[in-house]
Amino acid sequence: MTFFSIIKNKLLYKTLSLKIVIILSLIITLNNSNSKEFKKDGEKLFKLHCSACHSVKRGEKDKVGPNLYGVYGSTAGTQSYSFQRRYSSSIKQSNVVWDTKSLDLFLKNPRDFIPKTKMTFVGLRKISDRTSLIKYLRSLNQ
């Protein structure tokens, strides 16, 4: 290798790694802003569709439905201690754990997923709305 080709290789290496760093940071920023967007949308959707029946802040009173703080990851019908007597027996006996998949099915059509649930909500048709809402619910206790 001549002196010049070594220099050339080093330069090439530097520009390449710089490009990789730029691309990686772009991907990270995009990903972050994406999930922030999702959360913000989720909060709006929650206010629109859910807040009439659900509170979300820790320790806040139940409304028509249970308080949802920490609902993500919990077993259906157990999350709100003060709502224990008001949960339907069908949700209590469902043995569902609230994760992305089960919440998606429930929010799409509550009565299809848990027959005889007391949640009288028609459901959210748009998958992007459900995804945003689930991200929002998940962010509550993180």
* Contact set with ligand HEC (CB under 6 A): 49-50, 52-54, 64-66, 68, 71, 76-77, 79-80, 87-88, 91, 98, 107, 117-121, 124, 133
Question: Considering only CA atoms, which of 134, 20, 140 is closest in space to residue 80?
Answer: 140
User: With contact defined as beta carbons under 8 Å apart, do 107 and 124 qualify?
Assistant: yes
Q: How far is the CB of 11 from ligand HEC (least distance, A)?
A: 54
Judge whether 83 and 94 are in contact, CB under 8 Å: no
Instruction: Report how far residue 48's alpha carbon sits from residue 52's, in angstroms, rounded to the nearest whole number.
Output: 8
- How far apart are alpha carbons 100 and 98 in whole angstroms? 7
Tell the smallest beta-carbon distance from residue 36 to ligand HEC (Å).
19
Nearer to ligand HEC, 71 or 131 (CB): 71
Pick the closer one to ligand HEC by CB: 12 or 64: 64
Q: Which is nearer to ligand HEC, 55 or 79 (CB)?
A: 79
